[in-house]
Amino acid sequence: MIRIEIELFLKNVPGELGNLTSLLGESEINIDAITIQDASSYVRNLFEARGKSLKRIASSANYNSIRRDSAEFALIRMLVNRPEKAIEILKANKYLFDTKEVIAIDIENVPGRLSEITKEFGKQGININYVYGSVSSGDAKCLFVFCPEDIELASRIFPEKEQQF
């Protein structure tokens, strides 16, 4: 199913993640999925991707400066149960963020299920930009978040298949 992912930059200092999660928790907003990475690796990947396409977006001197500055931040991607309310809170607290549509799929935690899903993306010719997920034990399902290049096509293939996973 299509869900709204919130992508934000957070200062990479002690207590900042706690402040963010407190704001959300106090407003009864649950985080369903989250991934956090050093923003400098995000910037490095962006520059590498741009370099491969031969579309330079900055000089190497600017790149090094951006990379140093970005190490002060973490890139957070998350799904929440009430994205509209979370967006209001982030705006009110002056967070730097963006939103995008992603595909979120609950799957059984058994060998081969993730393979079935990713192979289906491939069969349909859909590239996956990134994925993150959870694991569980027993009969509980796992939530995996996919950012496909073609969200419309991906949304058409997975809703009916969701029950099979």
Domain boundaries, given as residue ranges, for the chain? 2-99, 101-164
Query: Which pLDDT does position 73 carry in this prediction?
Result: 82
Nearest Cα residue to 63 out of 50, 77, 76: 50
The CATH architecture that domain 101-164 belongs to is 2-Layer Sandwich (3.30)
Tokens of 112: 């081969």
Domain 2-99 grouped into CATH 3.40.50.150: no
Q: Tell me the residue type at 22.
A: S
The SS3 call for residue 34 is: strand
Q: Which of left, alpha, beta for 125 (phi over 0: left; psi -120 to 50: alpha)?
A: left
**9-40 burial, b for 16+ CB within 10 Å, e for fewer?**
bbebeeeebeebeebbeeeebebebbbeeebb
Beta bridge partners of 76: 8, 36
Q: What is the model's pTM?
A: 0.78
**What are residue 13's phi and psi, to 5 degrees?**
-135, 155
Give the pLDDT of the chain (165 residues) as one tens digit per residue.
899 999 998 888 899 999 999 999 999 999 999 999 877 666 656 556 555 554 555 555 555 555 555 567 889 999 999 999 999 999 999 998 999 999 999 988 888 989 999 999 999 999 999 999 987 776 778 899 999 999 999 999 876 544 445
Contact status, residue 35 vs residue 146, Cβ threshold 8 Å: no
